[in-house]
Chain A
Amino acid sequence: MASAPENEKNASAPEKKTLTLKSMINNEEFVVDEHVALQSVTIKNMVDSDCAGDVIPVPTISGEILALVIEYCKNHANPSASEDDLKKADAGIVAKDIYTLIDLVLAANFLDIKGLLEVTSQKIADSIKDLPHQDVREIFGVENDYTPEEEAAVRAEHDWAFEGFP
């Protein structure tokens, strides 16, 4: 606990610095403490190399998604949050429909936030666990571009595979 204010001070020396993130999709702006925004490796690299102006434009990410990303970063930048708190908070953030989850994966990937990418991918993976490929196709609306022969060949190869490892 004692180190909490210290961390904050270090991250935002000499005074609390903020950054403005702007969604280029709907021009929504978010003012964020710098140490929160720095959870994103992409933004950190921009700041470190002095490429970040007062307003950092974020292309391809909507304001709605950006708000979720910032919520995640705030939670994880809080040094007094316990692991349990973070788990609960993460679960709340990814309790979304599949569209939002895919957008979140894209945002986490673009902004390079490893933890967010992992929890979101896990959530999507959970939604297709134990489902046959036809159902997976349906959930994601993926078109089957296999010929029947190709699909049979892939299946045949699976006969060689044991289920688990090791």
Chain B
Amino acid sequence: MHAVENDSIHDVIDHAISDYISNLPDECLACIFQSLGSGDRKWCSLVCRRWFQVEGQSRHCLSLNAQSDLLSAIPSIFSRFDSVTKLALKCDRRSVSISDDALILISLRCRNLTRLKLCGCRELTDAGVAVFAKNCKGLKKLSCGSCAFGAKGMNAVLDNCSSLEELSVQRLRGITDGAMEEPIGPGVAASSLRTICLKDLYNGQCFGPLIIGSKKLRSLKLFRCYGDWDTHLEVIANRVTSMVEIHLERLQVSDKALAAISNCLCLETLHLVKIPECTNFALKSIAEGSKLLRKLHIDGWKTNRISDEGLMAVGKHCPNLQELVLIGVNATKLSFRVIGLELPKSRTVGVVWK
């Protein structure tokens, strides 16, 4: 008897709370979903039809498994998630990725896309990317890794997406396969781009016109881009003087080209990682020009070309320095004393010396 009574009390409570939650307007329910991660949102959409609907309509970020047979699921997925503005399409190495028709279909469904990330979508070609770019002109961030389209697709994006602020490219096979190096950019996007990041590229130099044309560029990061960057870097540093952050890693550039960075008078963050030819000469020039430097990371790669001389120049000319990380650099007490003496005492200079 007792059990029955308990059950009925439970029923009353359940009924009451169910009224409560159904009182919540859609926008409040959406607000709760907003505080949950993607996995929890999936569970929520399984709760009931109403939650499914509200969750779908209030989802802005979506990350999909971009295997070729995603194509058939696209209509229903994008009817359900009809407000997506940030989309990631990822395909693992062993699978065949989506092809142009899928990307085009998505671009027709998500015209308001502001952010696209493509990973391992090897089947996409220039033609598909070009149609996508025409349909999603509001794109602000594009990131692509291990894709196989080339300069034509990239140029289509740059010619159509006039709000593009961030471009990140890693292992783009299409620009290596062609016998002729086709220039990329500047396009209309050059006037809005703030960040360019290139990683693991052969022929990455073909992005030169884009970088040089990006007059508002604030951040440039070049990681392991093969070949000679000497002339390119010098021209970039001479023309794109708006940069506040430069990160160069394992890049073949001479001391002279590096010294040109001193033209970037607003530079605040500089990472020179494993650049074998960097010497005190370059470091001194940069310190004398880029006086607003706040963060400096140098990995000398044990080439012993940077020593007290260069570091003392930094201490002398860069009063805003707050963070100094030195790896494989020949620094002695001498330069640390100068850094300590020359910099205003109110500043804290963190030094990591490995």
- Residue interface bits B59-80, CB-to-A below 8 A is 1, else 0: 0011111000010010011001
Stretch from B27-35, B121-129, B269-277, B290-298 contacting the other chain? B27-35
Contact of B46 among A99, A105, A151 (CB under 8 A): A151
- Contacts A159-B65, A162-B63 given; does A117 touch B88 at CB 8 Å: no
- Inter-chain CA distance A155–B27, complex, in Å, is 24
Q: Is the CB of B46 within 8 A of A161?
A: no
Contact of A121 among B35, B42, B51, B52 (CB under 8 A): B35
Q: Which residues of A contact B35 (CB under 8 A)?
A: 118, 121-122, 124-126
Q: Is the CB of A145 within 8 A of B21?
A: no
- Inter-chain CA distance A157–B64, complex, in Å, is 10
Contact of A142 among B36, B51, B61 (CB under 8 A): B51
Q: Is the CB of B31 within 8 A of A121?
A: yes
Q: Is the CB of B36 within 8 A of A128?
A: yes
Asked if B18 is at the interface (CB within 8 A of a chain A CB), the reply is yes
Contact of B31 among A105, A128, A160 (CB under 8 A): A105
- Inter-chain CA distance A129–B36, complex, in Å, is 7
Asked if B345 is at the interface (CB within 8 A of a chain A CB), the reply is no
Asked if A106 is at the interface (CB within 8 A of a chain B CB), the reply is yes
Q: Is the CB of A145 within 8 A of B49?
A: yes
Asked if A141 is at the interface (CB within 8 A of a chain B CB), the reply is yes
Q: Which residues of A contact B33 (CB under 8 A)?
A: 125
**How near does chain A come to B163, taking the closest CB pair, in angstroms?**
19
A131 (CB) vs chain B CBs: closest residue: B43
Contact of A140 among B18, B36, B77 (CB under 8 A): B18
- Residue interface bits B140-164, CB-to-A below 8 A is 1, else 0: 0001000000000000000000000
A130 (CB) vs chain B CBs: closest residue: B40
Asked if A163 is at the interface (CB within 8 A of a chain B CB), the reply is yes
- Contacts A109-B28, A160-B77 given; does A141 touch B14 at CB 8 Å: yes
- Residue interface bits B13-24, CB-to-A below 8 A is 1, else 0: 111111011111
Q: Is the CB of A105 within 8 A of B24?
A: yes
Q: Is the CB of B62 within 8 A of A165?
A: yes
Asked if A144 is at the interface (CB within 8 A of a chain B CB), the reply is yes
Asked if A166 is at the interface (CB within 8 A of a chain B CB), the reply is yes
Could you tell me how many residues of chain A have their Cβ less than 8 Å away from some Cβ of chain B? 43
**How near does chain A come to B130, taking the closest CB pair, in angstroms?**
24
A137 (CB) vs chain B CBs: closest residue: B47
Q: Is the interface of A mostly helix, strand, loop or mixed?
A: helix
Contact of A158 among B20, B25, B42, B76 (CB under 8 A): B42
Q: Is the CB of B63 within 8 A of A161?
A: yes
- Inter-chain CA distance A160–B20, complex, in Å, is 33
Q: Is the CB of A136 within 8 A of B44?
A: yes
Contact of B48 among A105, A142, A155 (CB under 8 A): A142
Q: Which residues of B contact A165 (CB under 8 A)?
A: 38, 61-63, 86, 88
- Inter-chain CA distance A158–B73, complex, in Å, is 11
- For window 108-136 of A, CB contacts with B under 8 Å fall at 109, 117-118, 121-122, 124-126, 128-133, 136
- Residue interface bits B305-334, CB-to-A below 8 A is 1, else 0: 000000000000000000000000000000
Q: Which residues of B contact A129 (CB under 8 A)?
A: 36-37, 40
Asked if B224 is at the interface (CB within 8 A of a chain A CB), the reply is no
Q: Which residues of A contact B47 (CB under 8 A)?
A: 133, 136-137, 140, 142, 144
- Inter-chain CA distance A106–B33, complex, in Å, is 15
Asked if A14 is at the interface (CB within 8 A of a chain B CB), the reply is no
Q: Is the CB of B48 within 8 A of A99?
A: no
Q: Is the CB of B48 within 8 A of A102?
A: no
29 contacts between A and B (CB under 8 A): A98-B20, A102-B23, A102-B24, A122-B35, A125-B34, A126-B35, A129-B40, A130-B40, A136-B47, A137-B48, A140-B18, A141-B13, A141-B15, A142-B47, A144-B48, A146-B46, A146-B49, A154-B52, A157-B80, A158-B42, A160-B64, A160-B73, A161-B62, A161-B65, A162-B65, A164-B38, A165-B62, A166-B117, A166-B143
Query: 5 extra interchain contacts, Cβ-Cβ under 8 A, other than A141-B14, A142-B18, A162-B90?
Result: A99-B16, A125-B34, A141-B21, A160-B70, A162-B88
Closest 7 pairs (CB-CB, A-B) = A125-B35, A141-B18, A133-B46, A162-B63, A141-B14, A141-B17, A165-B61
